[in-house]
Amino acid sequence: MQRILVVDDMATNRELLQNILEDDFAIETAENGEDALIKLQEYGEDMAAVLLDLQMPRMDGFAVIAAMKRNGWLNKIPVLIISSEHAAEIESGCLELGVSDFIHKPFDASIVRNRLKNTLDLFAYKNRLEETVEKQRKTLRHQDRIIQIQAERLKEAEPFDRLMMEYRFAIMEVETRLKVLNEEFSREYKRNPIESIRSRLKSPESIYDKLRRKGYPITVENIREHLTDVAGLRVICSFPDDIYRLAELFSRQGDILLLRKKDYIQNPKDNGYRSLHLILSVPIFLSNERKYMKAEIQFRTIAMDFWASLEHKLKYKKDLDNAEQIADELRVCADSIEALDYQMQELRDKIDRNERNYAAIGAGY
């Protein structure tokens, strides 16, 4: 039998509630807030619910709610207020504090029984849900641990070490070629299309995780074969048209093979993400051979990059209350950023045209 605590300073009310509920529940009673807390201390979460009066001597119902909240009981043990208070602000105040229901005195036996039953069902469902989530969390933690151990082992393996070195060479190769393009471009057009280049070698943990998600065993061959972003570069450009110009010039280089192009600028993701991704096969030149390595370059403007790093944070924050609202606002920001990027580009074109006109007038003199 589930145990219920009835807290009321009036003996008649305690008896009445006991009579209503005793066939279905084991009843404990308390005649004020202090006694109620002693009972709660004694039974802890074995108490299935509390029926609580508000006005009581020594310690009233509000103080009991506050103490239950402090002890973390209010999430585990539902509280139903049984009170002769009829003011709406008192009822809504109690609900805001976290009580589950409010029953007005004089009460009807079947209403008390049904409301208590509904509340207990709801809490049981919530508890089951929380248990499932906790189990899933534990499984995930366990999987993370396995990934970490496997990744540690992988790091120590010689062939993996060599493979990572080759990916580092691929990053160096791509970075140098991009810098060359940037410098040549800046001589010709008097400005740098690339604001900055960032690169990263995927960590063993992420490599392991991605291979597992794709359903491949963790081997050096599978990394080489099935992962395209172990060598990753991010190229931050000033304007959208610089992105396309650079991407075109880069992928047209004779010994580079464009494996895949994902244009999230023309076709943004649903969350608003915009970038141009090139997946390439690039040569690296070793002492006795030339090898082709896969690398991913993400091209984006400064504003798109600013957006992506904030959105990335949202992805890894699991317990945000207002995650959906933030995601909606980010989507709006992504659209504004696109409009701003193209507006800035038009302004740059106007400035460039003016400069050319002045130069032409100057040449005429």
Binding-site ranges for ligand 0O2 (CB under 6 A): 202, 206, 228-229, 262, 269, 271, 273, 277, 298, 308, 311-312
| Residue type for position 302 | I
DSSP for 230-297, written as a single string: SEEEEEEESSHHHHHHHHHHHHTSTT-EEEEEEETTTS--TT----EEEEEEEEEE-SS-EEEEEEEE
Q: How far is the CB of 229 from ligand 0O2 (least distance, A)?
A: 5
CA atoms within 13 A on the CB side of 235: 30
- 362, with CB counted inside 10 A (0-12, 13-18, 19+), is exposed
Specify the residue, 32 or 298, whose C-beta has the smaller distance to ligand 0O2. Answer: 298
Report CA torsion sign: 144, 146, 150, 155: positive
Specify the residue, 33 or 272, whose C-beta has the smaller distance to ligand 0O2. Answer: 272
* Both structure tokens of 336: 């504004």
Q: How far is the CB of 73 from ligand 0O2 (least distance, A)?
A: 41
Q: How far is the CB of 273 from ligand 0O2 (least distance, A)?
A: 3
Q: Which residue is nearest to ligand 0O2 (CB)?
A: 273
How many secondary structure helices (H) and strands (E) does the chain include?
11, 10
* Both structure tokens of 29: 């009673």
Specify the residue, 47 or 207, whose C-beta has the smaller distance to ligand 0O2. Answer: 207
Specify the residue, 115 or 277, whose C-beta has the smaller distance to ligand 0O2. Answer: 277
Q: How far is the CB of 179 from ligand 0O2 (least distance, A)?
A: 22
- In what helix (H) or strand (E) does residue 80 lie, and over which residues does it extend? strand 79-83
Specify the residue, 8 or 296, whose C-beta has the smaller distance to ligand 0O2. Answer: 296
Q: β-strands 257-263, 101-104: how paired?
A: unpaired
Q: What is the DSSP letter of 45?
A: G
Specify the residue, 279 or 344, whose C-beta has the smaller distance to ligand 0O2. Answer: 279
Q: How far is the CB of 246 from ligand 0O2 (least distance, A)?
A: 18
Q: How far is the CB of 332 from ligand 0O2 (least distance, A)?
A: 15
Specify the residue, 49 or 265, whose C-beta has the smaller distance to ligand 0O2. Answer: 265
